Structure 1
Amino acid sequence: MDHFNAPSEWSRWRQQNKMAISLGSRQAADEEARAEVEVLNSRLEKTSQLTKKIQASLSRLESSGKSVQDAVGPLYGNTQKLQTLGTNIDSILSAIERIRQPSDIKSNEEEIIRKGPEKAGLAAFLSSIKRVNKALSEMQQTNLRSNQQAMADLSRLLKSGNTQLEGHFQRLLQEDSRPLEPLHFITKDKPFPMLSQDKTTRLGLISSYIASSMRQGSGSGESPVLQAYASVRGPYLTATLQNLASASVNTARKKTPDAIYRQGTNGMATYARGIQGAFLAEYDNICALFSRDEWGRVFNLTCQGAISELARTLRELNAHIKANLTTDCYLAYEIIEIMSNLSSTLENRTGELKPSFAAALKPIRETGKSSLGELLEDTRRKIFNLPAIPTDGAALPITSETMTRLQTMVDFLRPISSIMISLGDGGWKSTAASNNSMEQIPSLNSFDVGADGKQIFAHYSIDTIDALLTSLEVKAKPLLKGKPTLGVFIANNATIVDRMIRNSDLQPLLSSRMSDVDKWRKTGAQLYTMAWREPSTHLLDVQYTNRGSQRPPSGSAAAIDSAAILKGLSSKDKDAVKEKFRLFNTSFDELVAKHKALNMEREVREILARQVQQMIEPLYGRFWDRYHEVDKGKGKYVKYDKSSISGVFLSLG
């Protein structure tokens, strides 16, 4: 480091030479220049030495860097390995922790699950079982062989927990599922009770968990609580409605064999109200406990037992109706309407059960359809089997019975109209078709949405009336002697038909078809009045006049002089007039006696009396005016004068 002391030496040198310089400026200048050169040479030499030292240092530094690199490189690589090793160790520790975790979970949760939801509490039990479920799911994802035993243990624990939950679900349901007395709610028009709010909350938690567990597990299949719910609430519904079902059968039993069923006297309407109330309350319970996509399934499962009991009840009622068809067919019509209304109400509210109700109702609906044709055949059969016809021409009870049946049918016009539409106009005429309707493929008439059920019923009523009166005529012809009695018989029955139509709700339905009934009454009147032609023939005469005498004037009675007319007759002609009076009296009196002996409806008696009077009285009045002086007022031949015969006609009515 001598090089760094050059300035101080230079100073000393300059001081030493100041005296010499002063000796002579030239000599001094030369000396100074020499000194500067020497100094520069000295400094150059030191710089060269310093450069060499720096080069040597750089060489040493480069050598040291290589040594450091050689030394540090392996250390860095080892550090990276150590980091990877550390990460692996952490992973191993985590894996070990996970391996240890199942045994910890099992020991932690097993005690709670073994206690069950009643002792542990539903909330704590559900939380525990959810943790087990989650742990099992995570283990299944890792799929470690060492976890197989732990997975099996947790699976058993989870299965035990789920089984306990299902049992707890059923026990909770059972607490609120004791059968009720439905009449209490029906008569007071109160809704059927639902599950309590507390029960609904707890049952809903269980249902929600099990459904979620099912979705997380297999992803398919039906939650077992659906069947569990139906297994408890289904018998509850059946037992609750059992008494109503029995009452429906019991109220159908007849105290009087021939009694006609009266609307509303059967317990079916009350039974249907009970079904509606109980089913709707049950549907609300289900909606509060299950997811929307499960409502229909649970509702159908729960109600099937009660519907099976309903179907059994309807089969019993159907057997009763078929055994008493002519008097109890109306019960079939009433049940059809009641069940159709019930089915529609429940379908509108729940969207369910319509096919089940249709299947239960099918036997009675088929009986209702076949009854129309069978009733017609029954009418014909009863008339054919009559042992006799009243000899006085009185109407038969079957006429009133048949019309009463039609009148009663009007009370059930709505269900009958639906039956009529399904049969089609005239579909009742074929007995075979009616009896085998269950096996038949529905005709297009069954789907005629524009058909008028009331109009078709009117056609059926006219067919029934025509079958009745035609059968009566056929039966009476060979049994009744004489057309008058037959005519009165036909007119009597036709008049009862007419009266029972006009005095009932049949009138607006059949008002346009009354001419079909009236033609029968006219037929009867014509048959009756044919017998009165005989006395009228005795009143027809020729004009007895002398040759050359003028024809007696005709016209009013005042213009006819009976004595003058008789004066112009010969004795033979007078005897002929007397004979005519005698024959008329005999025939007339006989017919009057028969008329009064016949049993006629009031309207028939009035009509026939009027028609006989219109036929006989004008002829007799004319004949009497001309010839009543034939016995000179003794009454031997001329029994009736005009006023007395008019009184006879009045007595006929």
Structure 2
Amino acid sequence: MAIGALSNSRYNAVDEEARAEVDVLNSRLDRTSQLTKKIQASLGRLEATGQSVRDVAGPLNGETRRLQTLCKNVESVLTAIDRLRQPSDSKDDEEQIIRSGPEKAGLSNYLASIKRLSNSYKEMQTSNLRANQGTMAELTRLIKLGNSQLENHFDKILRAETPRSLEPLHYITKDKPFPVLSQDKVARLGLVYSHVAGDFPNSFDSSVARIYADVRGPYLAASLANLAAASVNTAKKKNPGDVYQAGANGIGTYTQAMEGIFLSEYDNICSIFKREDWGPILQATCQGAITELARTLRELNTHIKSHLTTDCYMAYEVTEIISGLSSNLDKRTGELKNSLSAALKPVRETAKSSLSELLEETRRKIGNLQTLSSDGVTPPVVAETMQRLISMVEFLGPISSIMISLGDGGWKPGAAGGGRTTEGIPSLASFDVGADGKELFAHYCLDTIDVLLTSLNQKSQMLLRNKSLLGVFMANSVVVIEHMIRSSELASLLDPRPDVLDQWRKRATAQYTDICKDLSVYLFDTIHTNRTKRPTSGHADSADSASVVKGLNSKDKDKIKEKFTQFNNAFDDMVAKHKSYNMEREVRVMFGQDIRQKLQPLYDRFWDRYHEIDKGKGKYVKYDKSSIAAVFASLGS
């Protein structure tokens, strides 16, 4: 019992202790639940409070940002207003500089002032505020005034440095370069140009570029005016019939001065203006001088056309000189070629057409001959024509160029095209790239000689009825031509060729020795003698001739006597006429040899057979073989 009671009391104590712990845990759980509820209630209240704060703080933040933006905008406007007020504030200062002009204010300071005014104007233009319109108008006025005064300053500097004219001969004769603008003035002009040109998309449109051409152009033209007049005056010879000589005209000096002064002017332009403006400004500046050159060349061309046979060489020389000027200037400047070619065109066209016109002039001169010398002397037109060809050799350079542009035979009447172009210069298409100008000139010479001899032959047949005289006349003409070729520079051009004169020489010889046919008739016989006693021709002696004559009947003897008599008369007449003709030495020798070759063998044969017809009395047989040989020999001396 006691043990059981003890056990029950222990169990009760443990149970109580457990219940006590449960109660503690329950108590803590209740407090935790209550605390959780309080926390949840606090979180709910906090969330509600945060939402209220957000509802209040959101609009305040946006407003703050708007205020910040407005503040910045206000600050920007104030800054802009300050900038906009600056030009207006400084306008009076800038206006004072502008009105004082670049000379008093100093060019650099003046240019800087205009630049500041331009910048201010651009800023105001960007702002587009109506309040600035008045100030912008004032700035525009000041800028225009400033630029105008700059132009005047440019003009004043340039005119001060530009004389009315200079004397080109002073620089040419002393081989001195033509003067250029001083470096100080070039620098000032360049500064003005750089500022003014910046306002123009095409700088050449700027007023200072036009001012330069307007000031320097008359200076160039005036400096060259005297030489232009001298070129025209030197074309007028004291004796209009004198043939033009190379260098006799002043055009060479004129163009030498033009080249020198143009190149000096180009140096000025390069020092002042921008690269893209050099060409147009040079063209505009030189235009007046080139216009005067064109007028001068037209006057020279009129003179040349009026005296073509004596002054055609001037056309060739002028063509060469102006072409050289154009080439030299083009190499240095790349400009003026077209202008110079246009100025040269009339003279060059005359030079080209002269080649065919001179051929026609030769025909015309010969056609107008009313008489020819009765002794066979050649007319002056032969020497004149050949002298013209000889003179042309001195101008072979330009003539070769003209020949190439015309093409082989382009100088003949009716030749198509002739290589002409509307620009007065040969086009590339008209050139035979393989053509040799000297070769073409040689062809022209041969054509001229052919025209000369053909025309002379036609005229001589009309005026000279005697064949022998015709032969002398033509042979003399051929020899005169040949002499003039061999004694001149034509020899190197024509000698390597087949002798084109041979056909004319042979024709003349045939005409002259045609009389031999008549004389030879007296030396032929058809008399039949005793064949057994007939001597071999050319080997008979006096005994043979005697036997031949002895075998003739009286009638045949009379015929032989008559033949000797007729031959003697005709031969003496032929010799007398031969000696009366005025022959060139070569012609006399040529004709004498030809007559001897045709008649002496016939006479010797006839004499061998029949000289005993008068038994040595000389009544019928006037010449023996040795005496007639001497006469034949004398024909060539």
Which residue pairs with 2:29 in the alignment?
Answer: none
One-letter code aligned to 2:434: G
**8 Å Cα contact 2:523/2:602 also seen in 1:** yes
What's the offset of the Cα at 1:88? 4.1
In the alignment, structure 2 segments of 5+ residues that lack a partner are: 1-34
Residues 85 and 570 (structure 1), Cα distance of their counterparts in 2 relative to 1, 3 Å cut: closer
- Which stretch has the larger CA shift, 309-318 or 375-384? 375-384
Residues 223 and 560 (structure 1), Cα distance of their counterparts in 2 relative to 1, 3 Å cut: farther
Render the CA deviation track for 1:104-140: whole Å, top value 9, x for unaligned: 2321111111121222221221121121122212222
Is 1:353 aligned to residue 324 of structure 2? no
Which residue pairs with 2:273 in the alignment?
Answer: 290
Aligned-residue CA RMSD in angstroms? 3.3
One-letter code aligned to 1:147: N
What's the offset of the Cα at 1:559? 8.4
Is 1:317 aligned to residue 300 of structure 2? yes
- Which stretch has the larger CA shift, 260-269 or 433-442? 433-442
Residues 440 and 159 (structure 1), Cα distance of their counterparts in 2 relative to 1, 3 Å cut: closer
**8 Å Cα contact 2:154/2:208 also seen in 1:** yes
Residues 75 and 609 (structure 1), Cα distance of their counterparts in 2 relative to 1, 3 Å cut: same
Which of 360, 364, 384 is the matching residue for 2:367? 384
Is 1:94 aligned to residue 79 of structure 2? yes
**8 Å Cα contact 2:406/2:418 also seen in 1:** no
Which residue pairs with 1:412 in the alignment?
Answer: 395
One-letter code aligned to 2:193: S
Residues 431 and 527 (structure 1), Cα distance of their counterparts in 2 relative to 1, 3 Å cut: same
What's the offset of the Cα at 1:395? 0.7
Which residue pairs with 2:172 in the alignment?
Answer: 186
Identity of aligned residues (%): 59
Which of 450, 453, 478 is the matching residue for 2:434? 450
Which residue pairs with 1:489 in the alignment?
Answer: 473
What's the offset of the Cα at 1:440? 12
TM-score normalised by structure 2 residue count? 0.86
Which residue pairs with 1:422 in the alignment?
Answer: 405
Is 1:262 aligned to residue 245 of structure 2? yes
Which residue pairs with 1:243 in the alignment?
Answer: 226
**8 Å Cα contact 2:147/2:196 also seen in 1:** yes
Which residue pairs with 2:521 in the alignment?
Answer: 537
What's the offset of the Cα at 1:397? 0.7
Superposition pairs for residues 227-626 of structure 1, below 5 Å?
227-430=210-413, 446-542=430-526, 545=529, 547=530, 549-556=532-539, 561-626=544-609
One-letter code aligned to 1:423: L
**8 Å Cα contact 2:376/2:472 also seen in 1:** yes
- Which stretch has the larger CA shift, 152-161 or 118-127? 118-127
**8 Å Cα contact 1:330/1:412 also seen in 2:** yes
Residues 220 and 358 (structure 1), Cα distance of their counterparts in 2 relative to 1, 3 Å cut: closer
Render the CA deviation track for 1:557-593: whole Å, top value 9, x for unaligned: 6687544443444444433332222111110111111
- Which stretch has the larger CA shift, 168-177 or 306-315? 168-177
**8 Å Cα contact 2:382/2:481 also seen in 1:** yes
What's the offset of the Cα at 1:477? 0.9
User: Which SS does the other structure have where 1:478 is aligned?
Assistant: helix
Is 1:154 aligned to residue 139 of structure 2? yes
Residues 557 and 289 (structure 1), Cα distance of their counterparts in 2 relative to 1, 3 Å cut: farther
Larger radius of gyration: 1
**8 Å Cα contact 1:366/1:438 also seen in 2:** no
**8 Å Cα contact 1:180/1:240 also seen in 2:** yes
What's the offset of the Cα at 1:331? 0.8
Which of 75, 82, 88 is the matching residue for 1:103? 88
User: Which SS does the other structure have where 2:622 is aligned?
Assistant: coil
Partner Cα separation in structure 1 for residue 208 and residue 574 of structure 2: 89
Superposition pairs for residues 70-149 of structure 1, below 5 Å?
83-84=68-69, 86-149=71-134
Partner Cα separation in structure 2 for residue 191 and residue 159 of structure 1: 40
Residues 596 and 498 (structure 1), Cα distance of their counterparts in 2 relative to 1, 3 Å cut: same
**8 Å Cα contact 2:235/2:300 also seen in 1:** yes
Residues 176 and 636 (structure 1), Cα distance of their counterparts in 2 relative to 1, 3 Å cut: farther
**8 Å Cα contact 1:421/1:445 also seen in 2:** no
**8 Å Cα contact 1:498/1:514 also seen in 2:** no
**8 Å Cα contact 1:393/1:600 also seen in 2:** yes
- Which stretch has the larger CA shift, 419-428 or 556-565? 556-565
Partner Cα separation in structure 1 for residue 420 and residue 617 of structure 2: 77
User: Which SS does the other structure have where 1:97 is aligned?
Assistant: helix
Residues 155 and 167 (structure 1), Cα distance of their counterparts in 2 relative to 1, 3 Å cut: same
- Which stretch has the larger CA shift, 621-630 or 176-185? 621-630
Which residue pairs with 2:197 in the alignment?
Answer: 211
Partner Cα separation in structure 1 for residue 504 and residue 420 of structure 2: 33
In the alignment, structure 1 segments of 5+ residues that lack a partner are: 1-50
Residues 497 and 172 (structure 1), Cα distance of their counterparts in 2 relative to 1, 3 Å cut: same
Partner Cα separation in structure 2 for residue 276 and residue 345 of structure 1: 8
Residues 445 and 453 (structure 1), Cα distance of their counterparts in 2 relative to 1, 3 Å cut: farther
Which residue pairs with 1:20 in the alignment?
Answer: none
Which residue pairs with 2:614 in the alignment?
Answer: 631
TM-score normalised by structure 1 residue count? 0.84
User: Which SS does the other structure have where 1:333 is aligned?
Assistant: helix
Which residue pairs with 1:46 in the alignment?
Answer: none
Partner Cα separation in structure 1 for residue 635 and residue 157 of structure 2: 85
What's the offset of the Cα at 1:516? 2.3
What's the offset of the Cα at 1:645? 2.3
- Which stretch has the larger CA shift, 169-178 or 562-571? 562-571
Partner Cα separation in structure 2 for residue 282 and residue 443 of structure 1: 30
Partner Cα separation in structure 2 for residue 617 and residue 64 of structure 1: 164
**8 Å Cα contact 1:369/1:434 also seen in 2:** no
Residues 74 and 565 (structure 1), Cα distance of their counterparts in 2 relative to 1, 3 Å cut: closer
One-letter code aligned to 2:457: E
